[in-house]
Amino acid sequence: MKTNILGKSLHKTHFKCANRPIAICLSALFIISMVSPLAIQPTQAATPALHTAGSQIIDADGNVIYLRGVGLAGFVPNLILWGQGQNDAWSNQWNYNPQSVMDQTFTAMRDQWHINYIRVFIYPSWYYRDNITPAQEDINYAAQTTPISTKAYLQTLCTQAAKYGIYVNIVPYMLTPSASSSGNDPYATPNSAGGQGLPMSGWDSAAQRFLSDAGYANNEAGFWRWFWTDIATTLKDHPNAIFEAWNEPQLGADNTPIPASYMQYLQTMYSAIRGTGSNHLIMMQWRVGWFPNGYGNTLSWTKQISDAIPTATNLVYTTHLYYYAPTDLTSYWATDYNTLKTQLQTGINSMGINAPIVINEQGSCLTSSRNKQNDYTWWQNLLLAQRDLGIGAGAYYWLSDAGLGPVYSGETMLSNNYTPNTMGQHYINAYKPTTNPTPTTNPTTNPTTNPTTNPTTNPTTNPTTNPTTNPTTNPTPTTNPTPTTNPTPTTNPTTNPTPTTSTPKCPKPTTTPTTTPDPTTPPPKCPKPTTTPTTTPDPTTPPPKCPKPTTTPDPTTDPCPTKTPDPSPDPTTEPTPVVPKPPATPTKHTKPYTATKPTQPTQEPTQPTQEPTQPTQESPKSYENRDSSRCFYWSPWQRHHFSWSRSHMWLTHYR
């Protein structure tokens, strides 16, 4: 009996043991099936595609996205990024293996700063040439002879940023590099920023030579169609890419409407991107910035674009705001919350359309400030007013006071490494998570319909009380509890102090626009230059590869990217980096001119028929020599600053 019982017990035990592996396997498969989607979800859902609805930006899940970003110094692919425990320095340029520092930077941006987008500059000529060799751009990097692919760098940047819920705002700054930062570049220009010209509105000789060597001497529209088609195709699998038309475009006075030539560029850009099937956000701007004033500098140009592209979708408008830039602009701006909110509401009302607006560049050059406490107060309350009105923010720059900050006139957010300075801490404190992401009720209460009542009401009634969805787009901020990072109520008075007023950035040169031929010709890649730059290549036959510059900036270096060892290098390849010699002690370099008060234009500008003149030979607005070399006080990235008077604002660029 006992033996039988024992035998049955052993039989049952054996049966259970035999089935245990099956049970374990089934359990494991079940657990994996449940956990795997959770593990993959943050990366895939961190930066979903965005679209617009009225005055709001919405993600694919219907959440309202409040864009809160920061500007990076440098130009793709030589952005200034550094790792944890380091600081910003010239040696951080031309990083062949940027993934590690990107991960460290984006972790801090997400978890500590609540940042969900970055803004980066790009030279279209570098993108066209693709493989850029540091030694052929800057003598300080003579030992770095391995080329870096601009396109591959952009893809890496978007891929790494997407892991942390960060969108990438990509914007052309100049057509070709400035000689101050890329003196060896075959198309280096002595001009800076707007001094070089504007798309389809006139260029200096360096830009014209590049277009000629690229095969677009008489077909600039064709070049821009190729550029935006190619970049949209390159980043088609990166929904976190945002395409911006141009940085601070302006011709004429502060109230000059968009000329037909530049409007044609905007239309060409939009149709090229949408022609690829891309629905990415597109940002557009006119004039260098906005400020509350009484002589016509409004945001009415947004309606001009809306009327010119009536079927546009996912279009966001942007402008820039500054307190010191580095000229004193404080007389135009209030510093208290309520009056600042009223001033911003006035700007929204002047748009004349219901569309999103993002201030993707703003700050103050503190080295020029007479009273930094006023700057801090203005900055703190401006950010809170923007947040409550749903106006996106973009702090400038991701640089430190201890590093390159002084070279940028103190326009910084960091004290050192990733630690915020006073401006940076106010930026962090202004963050407010979105608790009600329903977008359908907001467009009807757009601030543009209520110009004067909103500022006097409690900010909680404003349509953008739920501006950000950072917690939903940044899935893993376990180290950054949001309740403790928004301590600003004590420093943000809700009472109505006394209003004041101020100004932002500056205008661009009055270059003569160029006529643009048929933009349908296919983009010839890397053509062979002719001895006569004005010769028009046959648009039906692609020119041979590799443009050889018509000038010889350096006989010991070959700017042709096809002669490098690897025409499309992997950004992960690792040559021996060389820390460049730091720039010499800089000296400030400015060249002011007499400003004139803008007058209201009497008619819409028409497309000019004459050939463009070089901006440097026109009026003082050509901004010649606005850029700086390493011997000057400013950065090799042509740090731009703005200068205004009450009668007119004007631009001096030093990036």
pLDDT value, residue 568: 43
> Which uninterrupted H or E stretch holds 206?
helix 205-213
In a domain, 1, yes or no: no
Q: Which residue has the tokens 């009056």?
A: 339
CATH number of the domain at 404, please.
3.20.20.80
451-481 confidence digits (pLDDT tens)? 333 433 343 334 333 433 343 334 333 334 3
Shortest CA distance to 70 belongs to which of 446, 606, 428? 428
How sure is the predictor about 271, in pLDDT bands with cuts at 50, 70 and 90?
very high
DSSP state of 189: B
Cα separation, 521 vs 518, whole angstroms: 7
Of the segments 320-329, 532-541, 582-591, which one has the largest average pLDDT value?
A: 320-329
Task: Classify residue 23: in a domain, yes or no.
Answer: no
Asked whether residue 5 carries a pLDDT value surpassing 80, the answer given is no
H/E segment holding residue 154: helix 150-162
Pairing between β-strand 131-132 and β-strand 68-76 as defined by DSSP bridges: unpaired
Q: Measuring CA to CA, which residue among 298, 266, 268 is closest to residue 284? A: 266
Q: Rounded to an integer, what distance in angstroms lies between the CA atom of residue 258 and that of residue 284?
A: 12
Task: Answer whether residue 615 is part of any domain.
Answer: no
Contact 645, 295 (CB under 8 A): no
| pLDDT value at residue 435 | 57
Task: Say what the pLDDT of residue 46 is.
Answer: 75
Higher pLDDT, 67 or 617: 67
User: How many Å apart are CA 440 and CA 451, to the nearest integer?
Assistant: 21
382 membership: H or E segment, kind and range: helix 372-389
Q: What is the pLDDT of residue 359?
A: 98
**Tokens standing for 168?**
């990438």
**Over the stretch 6-43, which tens digit does the pLDDT of each residue have?**
333 334 334 334 444 444 444 444 444 433 333 333 33
Q: For residue 192, what pLDDT band results from cuts at 50, 70 and 90? A: confident
Mean pLDDT (whole number) for 65-82: 97
* The predicted structure's pLDDT at residue 296: 80
- Residue 599 inside a domain? The answer is no
Residue 632: pLDDT above 80? no
**Angle formed at CA 397 by CA 106 and CA 590, multiple of 5 degrees:** 155
- Domain contains 396: yes
pLDDT attached to residue 371: 94
Residues spanned by the domain of 104: 67-491
pLDDT tens track for 139-148: 999 999 999 9
Angle between helix axes 220-234 and 150-162 (nearest 10 degrees) is 40
Q: What is the pLDDT of residues 303-344, one digit of tens each?
A: 999 999 999 999 999 999 999 988 888 999 999 999 999 999
Q: In this predicted model, what pLDDT tens digit does every residue of 595-626 receive, in sequence order?
A: 333 444 434 444 443 444 443 333 322 222 33
- Tell whether 642 is covered by a domain: no
The answer to whether the CB of 434 falls within 8 A of the CB of 125 is: no
553 against 347, higher pLDDT = 347
User: Please, which pLDDT band fits residue 646 given cuts at 50, 70 and 90?
Assistant: very low
In a domain, 94, yes or no: yes
pLDDT of residue 469: 37
Give one DSSP letter per residue of 439-481, joined into a string: -TTSGGG-GGG-TTTGGGS-GGGSTTSS-B-HHHHS---TT--
Q: Retrieve residue 248's tokens.
A: 């601070």
pLDDT confidence of residue 418: 97
Percentage with pLDDT > 70 across the chain = 59
pLDDT given for residue 232 in this prediction: 98
Residue 576 lies in a domain: no
Structural domains in the chain (count): 1
Kindly write down the DSSP assignment for every residue of 408-421, as one continuous string: GTT--SEEETTEE-
In 3-state terms, what secondary structure has residue 572?
A: coil
| pLDDT at residue 402, rounded to an integer | 92
What is the b/e burial string over 250-281, where b = at least 16 CB atoms within 10 angstroms of the residue's CB? bbbbbbbbbbbbbbbbbbbbbebbbebebebb
576 token code pair: 């021996």
What pLDDT was estimated at residue 443?
A: 39
56 or 511: whose pLDDT is higher?
56
Do residues 193 and 246 make contact, with C-beta atoms less than 8 angstroms apart? Answer: no
Q: Render pLDDT for 551-577 as a digit per residue (tens, 0 to 9).
A: 444 433 443 433 333 444 444 444 444
The pLDDT tens digits for 367-414 are: 999 999 999 999 999 999 999 999 999 999 999 999 999 999 999 999
What rounded mean pLDDT belongs to the chain?
73
pLDDT tens by residue, 440-450: 333 333 443 44
Residue 532 has pLDDT above 90, yes or no: no
